[in-house]
Chain A
Amino acid sequence: MNFQLTEERQMLQDSLRRFLSDRYSVALHNDTLSSPLGYSATIWQQLAELGMIGALLAPEVGGYGGAGFDISTVFEELGRAGVVEPVLDCAVLCGSLLAGLDGAPTAREQKLLDQLIAGEQQLAFAHGEPSSRYERCWVETRAVAEGDEVVLTGRKSVVINAEAADQLIVSARETGAAGDRDGLSLFLIDPAIAGVRLRGSALMAGGRAAEVDLDGVRLSQSTRLGTAGQAANRIETALARAEVALAAETLGAMETATRLTMDYLTTRQQFGRLIGSFQALQHRVAEMLIEVEQARSAVINAAGHLEDLPHMRDRHIAAARNLVGRTGRRIAEESIQLHGGIAMTAEYELAHIVKRIILAEHRFGDADTQLERFIDLSAA
């Protein structure tokens, strides 16, 4: 057994932590939250220069990491600082989709990957739909072949980073019914082409998303990524990687929330004493610390099993996401409560962190959904 980070990952963690604690201030957050882009292009570029995007992708596609622990290391730091830049959507989701194609990426795909790693491309994965909820293969958007072309019709909901994206990776169904694994394909499309309509809005915890309407969008067959109808595996792998990232990000944010709360309890005075001297609050801090350690172990389990066979991988990921979902909610709510009114103010760092924690649960499946998934995978 060895729970130490490798030397490379330790260096990655150190440099990322240093960079973010120097540069990623609360003021920066508040400025970017309401900006048209929803994040800072400067920070994005600097993160790429630090090699942070490359760390999330395998050497075969031009990165220098890409394993579960690379992802968890990076995202724990991003979560700790409350980073809103679309690393998850752009690098993990879209990067994994491009890198995980049947065989080696084509020259065009590899070029996209290179640009992604250099921070020169923005991508978004348009997959969720109004009635898909958190089902991975629930795709109603249709792709109908017409000669050399494919025609896409449907609606994708809450597509994060869609407006900033140079290219969208869109899932669509060529055959079968909504929940089927067979029949799914991925298409790389330019959001500016005819028939694509984006309706954007800011996200509560930072960044932006859009509803993407696809109204008879005509594409060349060559925009399809990989084999027709066979994208389910790739989608599931990309989502698994994103879920590890998200769980680690939430863990980092939970650590920050807990640290801020402990700092507060040891400075805030009421009734002539530090509120941290009230045992009613001490026990709750103790419980928070226990929960954070549990969450850390769950994230380690998930990251360590990311390269396993899908069944084993997904069982650990569902477990981690359920546990992090539950404990994250608890940490967020307890942090607010133990701070009192000040925690409710937009300007205080905690407000942003708790929003990251709570709203992370709304991606790829909340704690209840993950519980069902875990039960299904355990029964199988």
Chain B
Amino acid sequence: MDLNYSTEELAFREQVREFLKTQLPKDLSESVRIGRTLSKDDHDRWHRILHGRGWLAPTWPDTYGGCGWNAVQRHIFEEECCRAHAPRVVPFGLTMLAPVLQKFGSDVQRNHFLPKILSGEHWWCQGYSEPGAGSDLASLRTRAVRDGDHYVVNGQKTWTTLGQYANWIFCLVRTDPNAKQQEGISFLLIDMDTPGIEVRPIILLDGTHEVNEVWFTDVHVPAENLVGEENKGWTYAKYLLTHERTNIAGVGFSQAGLEAVKRLARQQMHRGRPLIENPHFAARLAQVEIDLMAMATTNLRIIAAAAEGHAPGIESSMLKVKGTEIRQEINDLARRAAGAYALPFASEAVIGDNSALAPPEGTEAVAAQYFNNRKLSIFGGSNEIQKNIIAKAALGGRA
């Protein structure tokens, strides 16, 4: 056992730090730090900067323009990005769709789409969930009927994250209503500018517009936008999910969040002393930090195993459950630290300037983030579904 990073790894970390120090725009990191909602332009800017450095696609093989990093390097990069309050790279094209295209797409699709993901010309969103198909994704009903060289798509997707900015959507659609649930599904790439597509906003409880409904009425999609084989979409979807669940532990986010809570608790006063010295608050803070330290090591153990070629199984489900619990607990502590300043509606702060109220620094968005991050244990396969997976793997053969 050796818990230290190698000299090369440390040198790599330095390189990443230097890049972030010089290339990450201050206004962007400031927005991320206080939890402001980022605009499309904010996302695009950071995307271009990373692309310029060749650091946009850590998970891609270098043949496609990826960084060729190993799991440890990817981890270091993510950790440093979080620490520097870099915007999260929107994952739908880069880390979800791209691996599917690389493995199952046609040469034409790869050559057409992968460069446009890198350049940012295509902004992708994920059209999996439907009103009646959440955890039970295989029950989805959006229909795609082959008509000559086109598919005609009808139905409704929901919870489409950042769909308001996207110009392409990858969808799971039902192509054979008579087959067994998982077998009649196909994986389709759809240009959002096609007539018949309507995007409607869903406002979340913290006042943000982050997700959407996407409606399809007789949408004509060229047949060459089918990925792989017809009716085999479930296989590709599952492959994508294993990629969706990379970096699921969110160690970097938690570490940055914990630092933010500490900063806040040093400023907030309680009986004339900083809140961070209050024994009850300090105890809760310490407990979540202890949990996080252990999880960071669990995460590294899994990364190290992956680097040696072991495919993560239930470990990624374990990281999802524990990682989201820890992040949510940190969000809870942050809102607690703000005291009465958690009460004002943060939408002004989240969207722009909130100087009218002049809340103490760091309290602006804590309640909004607490509420918003309840999503962490719901999406990407809810925590209950993860626990089912863990238990089934452990007991399944025997119970």
Contact = CB atoms under 8 A, between A and B. Distances in A.
B340 A363 contact: yes
Contacts, number: 144
Interface stretch (B19-27, B132-140, B165-173): B132-140
Given A133-B269, A341-B129, A368 B374 contact: no
Interface stretch (A96-104, A110-118, A256-264, A345-353): A345-353
Contacts of B211: 341
B370 interface: yes
Given A204-B367, A345-B205, A340 B135 contact: yes
B207 A346 contact: yes
B336 interface: yes
B275 interface: yes
A329 B135 CA distance: 24
Interface string B299-331: 000000000000000000000000000001000
A211 interface: yes
Contacts of A222: none
Interface stretch (B68-76, B223-231, B352-360): B352-360
B345 A270 contact: no
Residue among B343, B347, B354, B368 facing the most chain A CB atoms (10 A cut-off): B343
B205 A355 contact: yes
Interface stretch (A141-149, A194-202, A230-238): A194-202
B175 to A, nearest CB: 21
Given A201-B357, A345-B204, A269 B340 contact: no
Contact of A209 (B268, B280, B344, B375): B344
B384 A179 contact: no
Interface in B348-397: 348, 354, 356-358, 360, 367-368, 370-372, 374-375, 377-379, 382-384, 387-388
B272 interface: yes
B358 A371 contact: no
Contact of B374 (A199, A337, A362): A337
Given A199-B357, A211-B357, A270-B134, A337 B280 contact: no
Given A337-B383, A340-B378, A368-B284, A157 B203 contact: no
A345 B202 contact: yes
A368 B336 contact: yes
Contacts of B275: 133
B281 A368 contact: yes
Nearest to A352: B205
A377 interface: no
B203 A359 contact: no
Given A270-B136, A337-B377, A337-B378, A203 B204 contact: no
A331 to B, nearest CB: 13
A134 B207 CA distance: 27
A204 B368 contact: yes
5 contacts: A341-B158, A344-B204, A344-B374, A345-B203, A359-B367
